[in-house]
Amino acid sequence: MGAIFRQSVCKMDITSLTNLKDSGVRFIGAALRKDCRVIFDAKLDDAVIAIGNEGSGLSGEILLLCDDLITIPIAAGCESLNAAAAAAIVMWEAQRGKAAQLKIEN
């Protein structure tokens, strides 16, 4: 058994992220805020998606770069998801959206 899809993952500093943003790349941040869009309603393709750590989330600097903020709905009483679990869900949803788009176009 192998992976069905691969997703590029990289760690970047704020200068590199700012340069990417300045070149026209769309940024999406995963956050636990009331102004976030539910992940299922977001367009995740062709974007840099930032996932913060479990303790403090994304930094203010990165949040300011974001064109859109997403959240993953979780059960009442849960505080948050582990960053690795959240990243896996976001990558799965991004891939699922691409697969749905291919079906619509074909």
pLDDT in tens, 44-92: 888 889 998 888 889 999 999 999 999 999 888 887 788 889 988 998 8
Q: What is the pLDDT of residue 91?
A: 87
Q: Which letter does DSSP use for residue 57 in this model?
A: B
Q: Assess whether pLDDT exceeds 90 at residue 103.
A: no
Q: Which of these, 68, 61, 65, lies nearest to 33 by C-alpha position?
A: 68
Q: Assess whether pLDDT exceeds 90 at residue 22.
A: yes
- Measured between alpha carbons, how far is 36 from 49 in angstroms, rounded to an integer? 14
SS3 58: coil
β-strand partners of 71: 38
- Measured between alpha carbons, how far is 51 from 86 in angstroms, rounded to an integer? 8
Q: What is the pLDDT of residue 77?
A: 84
Which CATH superfamily is 14-105 part of? SPOUT methyltransferase, trefoil knot domain (3.40.1280.10)
Q: Assess whether pLDDT exceeds 80 at residue 10.
A: no
Q: What is the pLDDT of residue 100?
A: 54
Distances (CA, A) of 99 to 74, 87, 94, 105: 24, 18, 9, 10
For the chain, the domains span 14-105
- The answer to whether the beta carbons of residues 44 and 89 sit under 8 Å apart is no
